[in-house]
Copies of this chain bind each other. A is one copy, B any other.
């Protein structure tokens, strides 16, 4: 089996949340796995020299409306957080701590934690909120709390973000498929198209 699709996602991104609902199934249809990598989009933008103020207000407003529309079109529940952008550091560190011991659990955690922000409209800045979302997965609240001071988890998040930058990423979600970059939840069909070209008849 060919290598997995690298899925760079940001917990605070509504578009990344939409991608997270579909990428595993899309990859499976192409006989591929997915390597989930939580990154800090803010750090990617900083590395690219992009100021958050560089985006016109009209575009930011549009993007939030468009994400809600895309969710409605995909029949995925979504409600935007009251304040934007969301602080995603706690979620990211919990993800990388879990991934170090159980990658599949980390993915389940990512799927459970993202909706806290983009479906329930709550912040995900605190370990308490994340622990509540992770409890049904059997993740002890203590582990989420410990992740916040876990230097290895912190370094894994930094390394993943640096790697994203090195691989050409400038936004989230992004997918790297056999070295080729695809940006945006609206490019999953294109990822499948590309993989269908590569597949032997």
Contact = CB atoms under 8 A, between A and B. Distances in A.
Interface of A: 48-51, 54, 56, 58-59, 62, 66, 69-70, 73, 168, 170-171, 181-183, 186-187, 190, 193-194
Contacts of A70: 190
Contacts of A49: 56
A183 B61 CA distance: 12
Question: Top 7 A-B pairs ranked by shortest CB distance?
Answer: A48-B56, A54-B54, A59-B170, A58-B170, A58-B168, A186-B186, A73-B193
Contacts of A50: 54, 56
Nearest to A56: B48
A62 B186 contact: no
Copies of this protein in the complex = 2
Contacts of A183: 62, 66
Which secondary structure dominates where chain A touches chain B? helix
Contacts of A51: 54
Given A70-B190, A190-B69, A193-B73, A168 B62 contact: yes
Contacts of A66: 182-183, 187
Contacts of A56: 48-50, 170
A133 to B, nearest CB: 30
